[in-house]
Amino acid sequence: MQPSSENDNWIRKRLSDDSLNEESEEYQKLAEEYSDYQAHLMEEAEWQAELQWLNENGSSNIHKLFTSELEALSTMAESNLNNRKKMAFMLHANVVVKMSYSYAVTLLEAFLGDTLKSLISQNDLYLKNAICKFKVLKNVKLTDLAENNLDVKSLVLKYVSDILYHNIPNVVEMYEQVLGIKLDIDISKVVKVTKLRHDIVHRNGKTIDGTMISVSSKDFAQAIDHIKEFAGSLQVAINEAQTA
């Protein structure tokens, strides 16, 4: 593969000998460095875009977007399930339900992560609470800031971005720590939803002992309701905490 002119110019400015060609070890090493550098620039640009988005979108806006996407998913799934003209409809329906069920939880996880990051990004008290109380930040060192060329807020958000948001009890605890309040939210239904999603994604709808789980369109509709109920209760609590 021929290097681009920009790539080649960058490399040749750093070669110890102008006569070295693309087959030389030094040229190849610099080509790899250039590739890594471009990947870094792209990652940094994406990160800055995410920070800007978090600053421009409060938790209420994120909740509205999440609700809209959840409703769109429900409409799409219903449309597919009503199409009974397809061959082998029962198999088709089962796949649609499992995929839709799984993606509903994916949307929930994205909502929980984006909302938490938005709160930390926009409120210095919430940022301080996260620094002081999050277990994942206990071993963070000041050298991490220098090594990653980040300020404190960006470093915290980086760590929070790596958290998995399907463990609802842990997620609720993190929200309590950030908001500095005790959340009185029933999580029993949404926990069952996330557990079933785990079985669908990791075992194709089987329990850990291999028993096949039946997932119907009614189960999917109930899951949507439970997810909406949980997310709505959480958003109400967030709004109340912010206006207290």
pLDDT digits (tens, 9 = 90+) for 35-54: 877 876 787 677 677 777 77
pLDDT digits (tens, 9 = 90+) for 122-169: 899 999 999 889 887 777 665 665 566 567 888 888 888 888 898 999
Stretches in the chain below the pLDDT threshold 50: 1-2, 87-88
Predicted pLDDT at 31: 87
Three-state SS string across 127-179, please? HHHHHHHCHHHCCCCHHHHHHHCCCHHHHHHHHHHCCCCCCHHHHHHHHHHHH
Share the mean pLDDT of the chain: 84
Dihedral of the CA atoms 118, 122, 123, 128 (nearest 10)?
A: 70
Predicted pLDDT at 150: 64
Rounded CA separation 240/150 (Å): 32
| pTM (2 d.p.) | 0.76
Give 140's contacts (C-beta < 8 A, 6+ positions apart). Answer: 155, 159
Predicted pLDDT at 1: 44
SS3 34: helix
